[in-house]
Amino acid sequence: MTSLSYESSGVDYDQLDAFKRACQRAARTTAPLLAAHGYAEPAATRGESCYLIEAADHYLAHVEEGLGTKNLVADAVYAQQGLNFYREIAIDTVATIVNDLVTCGALPVSVAMHAAVGDSQWFADAARMQALVEGWAEGCRQAGAVWGGGETPTLKGIVAPEAIVLAGSAIGRIAPKSLRITGDVREGDAILFLASSGVQTNGLSLCRLIAERLPQGYATPLGHGAAGTYGEALLAPSVIYVNFVAECQRRGLKLGYVSHVTGHGWRKLMRLEEPFVYEITELRTSPPVFRFLQEMGPISQREMYATYNMGVGFAAYVAPELAEATLAAARDSGYDAWLAGTVKKEGSRKAVTVPPLNLSFEADTLQVR
Amino acid sequence: MTSLSYESSGVDYDQLDAFKRACQRAARTTAPLLAAHGYAEPAATRGESCYLIEAADHYLAHVEEGLGTKNLVADAVYAQQGLNFYREIAIDTVATIVNDLVTCGALPVSVAMHAAVGDSQWFADAARMQALVEGWAEGCRQAGAVWGGGETPTLKGIVAPEAIVLAGSAIGRIAPKSLRITGDVREGDAILFLASSGVQTNGLSLCRLIAERLPQGYATPLGHGAAGTYGEALLAPSVIYVNFVAECQRRGLKLGYVSHVTGHGWRKLMRLEEPFVYEITELRTSPPVFRFLQEMGPISQREMYATYNMGVGFAAYVAPELAEATLAAARDSGYDAWLAGTVKKEGSRKAVTVPPLNLSFEADTLQVR
């Protein structure tokens, strides 16, 4: 069997990226419209995970995000095993929105739901519908944001009859403005990792492809020392990292930069424009779900780290003298965190290196920001 | 042939409404989370077209909205006649978002795109992709809002391979707070109508059903004194009503209430909780596309007014002494507008009445807000 890669699961990033670039070009032309509202577009907000709007004494933040295809896993596990994971799927959706928002230092104020179905019968299953509703509210609570409405259309002929598109948006705020996370990273900064709960919300197309090839599908025991099935492991709800950023703000701990580790796996660690080498030296054994994926694909170790979060959902770069205090802030606010490496300077080289695994990703492996 | 109704086009509002109500109940429990951000939830914002967040000296507004199924019409017209209406479709999507936002008096500051495809090949058609991008930017310009990012996922297995889900969100602002449109309506208030460009973004499922039954489909000449085809008439881009509200604010003209006339047609005129009778006496001949629909369905006149905007995209209720000035504000800012009727008080009766057509809709015909 040949080794799997993310591209083999059918997502063509090239077409998508051409569209994204066209959007970014056109979107930039609208920036002058902010002036009439008393706002301005801050430098370097385009291409970040969250769009910022600058006022005299605060920033507003705007994010629109979607869950991707993870709910297809919940659909299959529900059909095959009768296990209802729609509460978890809703938390995932809120997580993907607010985790992008906090990367700029904005705390989510309001989160709105977008749930589009192909057939209004989707909501006839009261247990599933109620789980989705409760999960969305729970995600908002974990994010400290109000659930500010939403949209729930029936899109017959656009959305598959059994399916649902889960997405949404958030408004966030940074006040005072000094709390903005700007990418103020220097040689010698510490790299802090916050654990993920599993694959969270990325790389699911590949996970589904693997499930299709397994005789027991999602009901395959996970093994690797873990109880439960592959499906259950995939559906562990994402961690919401808002409270980590909020706690650092309360304690006056400056976060130089943070990265929400999603699509593109550890390559996302080099999102910053400025060239640095991010050297990861403190590795944990990767969680069972990733060892399962790597073995079942099979997927090369390089491809695993290029695609999945590998147990790391969020990374923060801080001045070395703040490293221990930031670690304490993370742990005190309930996160599993550790100091994982160091930011290095090697001229114009931009890369993520993992010496214990003899792995490195150079700048050209991350085209999208 | 039996007469068509909106329900016959396959949208079951009952299931959907049960979900919406569950969402609203759960969402309300999250309101206390605003306090930590220095905000509060104003009374009576739940169930309005736009969610408001109250600060000391301003409101923020949050809307998540979608286009519905109108892009299926653009898809069919593109396939059948090679006519590219994706610019118009993008304007429609922005319109549906920002027109909801202005109903509370908020001016849109930032609009984000959500464009989910079933296959990234959707974007391989450069002309279509570019039209969509340009339309979105044009919609933002008409709304006076910045295009603040967005999300463009490929949702294989969720979204149909040829299709796209178009939706998005907006952040708006009301400052000073006195500009909020609160539903301050009194007996004797004037009802001002602003023209629509056609069906705009609602009732499209029924329009598609009718197209399927026509030998020439969307290429059927519209007739009724109009040039062009049925498809072209359906795809006229929606009017964006932001500048009307903005102009009234600039001129100090208080809008007691406004209604974005979308799903549920003229029944939407009685969105306010307080019971009034909205008497519409000044009717225009309905635009050709509606006469075409009524004839081709056939659809009863009552059903037409219960489903479609019938040439009226936006309604404003103002004190009688402001009626002429508000009309002038609408016309000066480029809208086709007229004084259409009067708000009456008849005890606890809530209804929309159209005496020239001998039509009336009582409160029980509008369950959703």
Residue contact B26–A147, C-beta within 8 A = yes
CB pairs under 8 A between A and B: 275
Return the amino acid letter for A268: K
For A34, the closest chain B residue by CA position comes to: B146
Residue contact B23–A113, C-beta within 8 A = yes
Return the amino acid letter for A204: L
Residue contact A23–B130, C-beta within 8 A = no
First to last CA, chain A: 33
* Among the listed residues B12, B117, B147, the one whose alpha carbon sits nearest the alpha carbon of residue A15: B117
Give the separation between CA A122 and CA A126, rounded to whole angstroms: 9
Residues of A in Cβ contact (< 8 Å) with B155: 66, 68-69, 165
Residues of B in Cβ contact (< 8 Å) with A158: 69, 71-72, 159-160, 163-165
Strands (E), chain A: 51-54, 59-66, 107-117, 146-151, 164-174, 190-195, 221-223, 226-229, 257-260, 277-280, 312-318, 337-344, 351-354, 359-362
Interface of A with B in 59-78 (CB under 8 A): 60, 62-66, 68-69, 71-72
Residue contact A41–B10, C-beta within 8 A = no
Residues of B in Cβ contact (< 8 Å) with A113: 23, 64
Distance (Å) from the C-alpha of residue B347 to the closest C-alpha of chain A?
32
Banded pLDDT at A43 (limits 50, 70, 90)? confident
pLDDT at residue A252, rounded to an integer: 98
* Among the listed residues A95, A93, A117, the one whose alpha carbon sits nearest the alpha carbon of residue A108: A95
Q: Are A52 and B156 in contact (CB under 8 A)?
A: no
pLDDT at residue A263, rounded to an integer: 84
Sign of the torsion angle spanned by Cα atoms A32, A38, A42, A48:
negative
Residue contact A27–B147, C-beta within 8 A = yes
pLDDT at residue B2, rounded to an integer: 52
When scoring A171, A174, A242 by the number of chain B Cβ atoms within 10 A, the one with the most, hence best to mutate, is: A171
Q: Is the pLDDT of residue A4 over 70?
A: no
Interface of A with B in 235-264 (CB under 8 A): none
* Among the listed residues B117, B243, B96, the one whose alpha carbon sits nearest the alpha carbon of residue B169: B96
Give the separation between CA B236 and CA B91, rounded to whole angstroms: 10
Residue contact A144–B72, C-beta within 8 A = no
Say yes or no: B41 contacts chain A, CB-CB below 8 A: yes
- Would residue B274 be called left, alpha or beta, if left means φ above 0 and alpha means ψ between -120 and 50 degrees? beta
For range A76-92, the mean pLDDT: 97
Distance (Å) from the C-alpha of residue A277 to the closest C-alpha of chain B?
28
Task: Using alpha carbons only, give the angle A154, A93, B66 rounded to the nearest 5 degrees.
Answer: 35
For the question of an ipTM over 0.85, the answer is: yes
Residues of A in Cβ contact (< 8 Å) with B116: 66, 165, 167
Residue contact A158–B159, C-beta within 8 A = yes
What DSSP assignment string belongs to B172-210? EEESSGGG-------TT-EEEEEE-SSSTTSSHHHHHHH
pLDDT at residue B98, rounded to an integer: 98
The residues of chain B scoring below 70 in pLDDT are: 1-13, 367-369
Sign of the torsion angle spanned by Cα atoms A156, B50, B19, B16:
negative
Interface of B with A in 99-158 (CB under 8 A): 107, 109-110, 112-116, 120-124, 129-130, 133-134, 136-137, 140-141, 144-158
For B42, the closest chain A residue by CA position comes to: A148
Say yes or no: A341 contacts chain B, CB-CB below 8 A: no
Residue contact A22–B60, C-beta within 8 A = no
Return the amino acid letter for A350: K
Question: How many Cα atoms sit within 13 Å of B248 on the Cβ side?
Answer: 31
Which has the higher per-residue pLDDT, A315 or A49?
A: A315
Angle between helices A204-213 and A288-296 (to 10 degrees): 60
For range A88-113, the mean pLDDT: 97
Distance (Å) from the C-alpha of residue B96 to the closest C-alpha of chain A?
11
Q: Per-residue pLDDT tens for A133-165?
A: 999 999 999 999 999 999 999 999 999 999 999
For B128, the closest chain A residue by CA position comes to: A19
For range A19-29, the mean pLDDT: 94
Residue contact A120–B18, C-beta within 8 A = no
Q: Per-residue pLDDT tens for A159-198?
A: 999 999 999 999 999 999 999 999 999 999 999 999 999 9
Considering only the beta carbons, identify the residue of A29, A120, A165 that sits closest to B165.
Answer: A165
Distance (Å) from the C-alpha of residue A267 to the closest C-alpha of chain B?
19
Distance (Å) from the C-alpha of residue A165 to the closest C-alpha of chain B?
7
pLDDT at residue B12, rounded to an integer: 60
Residues of A in Cβ contact (< 8 Å) with B51: 110, 112, 148-149
Residues of B in Cβ contact (< 8 Å) with A66: 114, 116, 151, 153, 155
Residue contact B69–A156, C-beta within 8 A = yes
For the record, the structure tokens of A152 come out as 């729930």
Banded pLDDT at A369 (limits 50, 70, 90)? very low
Q: Cα torsion for B96, B99, B100, B106, to the nearest 10°? A: 140
Residues of A in Cβ contact (< 8 Å) with B79: none
Say yes or no: A173 contacts chain B, CB-CB below 8 A: yes
Considering only the beta carbons, identify the residue of B33, B36, B64 that sits closest to A114.
Answer: B64
pLDDT at residue A47, rounded to an integer: 77
For B135, the closest chain A residue by CA position comes to: A26
For the record, the structure tokens of A300 come out as 């090369």
Distance (Å) from the C-alpha of residue B128 to the closest C-alpha of chain A?
11
Q: Per-residue pLDDT tens for A44-74?
A: 888 788 999 999 999 999 999 999 999 999 9
Which has the higher per-residue pLDDT, A365 or B251?
A: B251
When scoring A8, A11, A14, A30 by the number of chain B Cβ atoms within 10 A, the one with the most, hence best to mutate, is: A30
Q: Is the pLDDT of residue A303 over 60?
A: yes
Give the separation between CA B89 and CA B78, rounded to whole angstroms: 12
Give the separation between CA B27 and CA A104, rounded to whole angstroms: 26
Beta-carbon contacts of A324 under 8 Å, excluding residues fewer than 6 positions away, are none
Domains of chain B, earliest start first: 18-179 (3.30.1330.10), 190-365 (3.90.650.10)
Interface of A with B in 1-40 (CB under 8 A): 10-13, 15-16, 18-20, 22-23, 26-27, 29-31, 33-34, 36-37, 39
pLDDT at residue B369, rounded to an integer: 45
Distance (Å) from the C-alpha of residue B361 to the closest C-alpha of chain A?
24
pLDDT at residue A7, rounded to an integer: 54
